[in-house]
Structure 1
Amino acid sequence: MAAHRFSQRDWLDLGLAALAEAGPAGVTIEALCRRGGKTKGSFYAHFVTGEAYLTALAEHWREAYTRRLVEAADTGKQPDARLSLLDQMALRLDSRVEQGMRRLAASDIAVMRVCTQVDRERIAYLAGLHRASGRFDEKNALALARLEYAAFVGFQQIDTGAGGAGAAESYQLFLGLTGRS
C-alpha cells in the first residue's frame, strides 16, 4: 500500500496541530517533517520557503478560526442568535492555536500582518452584529466589540488561575454584563 501523499492542506493542518502542542518551535521545517513522517522534499513540493509556509499557515488559521466561524454564525437569523452561535463556536476553539499564532507573530512580520487583519475582521464583525441588534449606536457597538474581543483574547493569553473552565465561565459572565448571556 502506498504512503499517503501530503497535500498542501495536510501540511497546514499539521502545522496548526504542531503550533498547538509545541508552539512556534513545532513549525520549523525539520519539526514538521519529523512530525508528519515526511521528507523536506515533500515539504518543498508545496512551499518554496519556510517563510512562505508560515504565511500560508497564518492564512489557513484565518480561514479555519475566523472566516468559517463567521460563515456559520451568519446562518442565524437575528443578530443575537448569530452572536450566541459565534460565542459557542469561539469558546470551542483550541486556544493553544491562538496562543501559538500570536507567539509566532512576534517573530514573523507576515504572520503579524495576518494576525492584525484577523483582529480587525473579528472586531468589525462583532461591531456589525452589535449595531444590528438595535441596542447600540455605531460608536458604542465598536467600543463593545473591542472590549469583548480584548476579553476573549485576554482569557486565551493569560493564566487567570481559573483554568479553562473558569476562563469560559468568566467570559460568560462578561457576556452577561453586556446583556448577552
Structure 2
Amino acid sequence: MKPPSRFSRADWLALGLAALAEGGPSSLTIEALCRRAGKTKGSFYAHFPALGAFLAALAEHWRESFTLRLMQEADEGEAAGARLIALDKMALSLDFRIEQGMRRLAQLDAGVATICTAVDRERIAYLAGLHGEVGRRPEEALALARIEYAAFVGFQQLDLGLSSQDLHDCYRSFMRLLPRPAAP
C-alpha cells in the first residue's frame, strides 16, 4: 500500500503506535520512522520540532485513544454494571503490544512516564467510580479497581511465553472471577 503523499500529524502518531507495537521503543527514532513512512526528515520536522516532542505527542495520543475514548464510549451505557462490562470488552480489544511498548518507553523518557502515571490514575479512578456506582463501599471499590487494573497491566508485562490471544484469554478468565453485576 502506497503511503499518502502528505503525512499529517495524525498519520505520524498512528505510524508511531504501529512502530512501537512492532518494534518497541528502539523503533521510534526519527530515521526509522521516516524510513517506515517513506518520508523525509523534513516531513517529520514539519509536525514535531524534535523527537522528544513526538514522544510526548505519541504518549498523549495513546492516552486519548486507549483511555479517554474508552471511558467516553463506556459512559454511553446506562447502568454502571453495563458500563463495566463494556469497558472490559473494550480493554480486551486493545493491542497489548502498544500498552507494553508505552510502558517500556516510559522507562526511557520522563515525559512519557508522567503521562503513563496519569493514565494509571485515571483508569483506576474511573474503575473505582463504576464499582462504587454498583453499590460497593468506596474503599472496596478502590481496592477492586486497583486489583483489576494490576491484573490488566500485569498480564501485559509478564513474559509468560503466551501469544497475544492467550494473554487475552487469561485476562478474560480473570475478569470472569470478579464479582460483576448482571448486564441489563
Give the structure-2-normalised TM-score: 0.92
How far apart are residue 161 of structure 1 and its match? Answer: 4.2
State the AA in 2 paired with 1:31: A
Q: Which runs of 5+ in 2 are unaligned?
A: none
Query: Could you list the per-position Cα deviations for residues 117-168 of structure 1 after superposition, in whole angstroms to 9, with x for gaps in the alignment?
Result: 000000000000000011x111110010000000000011113344333333
Determine the C-alpha separation between the residues in 1 that align with 2:54 and 2:17.
Answer: 12
**1:74-113 map, 5 Å:** 74-113=75-114
Q: Which runs of 5+ in 1 are unaligned?
A: none
Q: Which residue of 2 aligns with 1:9?
A: 10
Determine the C-alpha separation between the residues in 1 that align with 2:19 and 2:165.
Answer: 23
Two-structure CA RMSD over aligned residues (Å): 1.3
Larger relative contact order, structure 1 or 2 (CA cutoff 8 Å, min sep 6): 2
Q: Which residue of 2 aligns with 1:73?
A: 74
Determine the C-alpha separation between the residues in 2 that align with 1:166 and 1:47.
Answer: 37
Going from structure 1 to structure 2, the CA distance change for 1:29 and 1:81 (only over 3 Å counts) comes to same
State the AA in 2 paired with 1:26: S
Query: Could you list the per-position Cα deviations for residues 78-105 of structure 1 after superposition, in whole angstroms to 9, with x for gaps in the alignment?
Result: 1111011111111010000000000000
Determine the C-alpha separation between the residues in 1 that align with 2:117 and 2:161.
Answer: 27
Determine the C-alpha separation between the residues in 1 that align with 2:43 and 2:165.
Answer: 40
State the AA in 2 paired with 1:166: D
Please say if residues 96 and 164 of structure 2, whose CA atoms lie closer than 8 Å, have aligned partners that are also in contact. Answer: no
Determine the C-alpha separation between the residues in 2 that align with 1:54 and 1:170.
Answer: 31
Q: Which residue of 2 aligns with 1:31?
A: 32
Secondary structure, aligned partner of 2:24: helix
Going from structure 1 to structure 2, the CA distance change for 1:156 and 1:78 (only over 3 Å counts) comes to same
The reply to whether residue 175 of structure 1 matches residue 175 of structure 2 is yes
Determine the C-alpha separation between the residues in 2 that align with 1:165 and 1:7.
Answer: 32
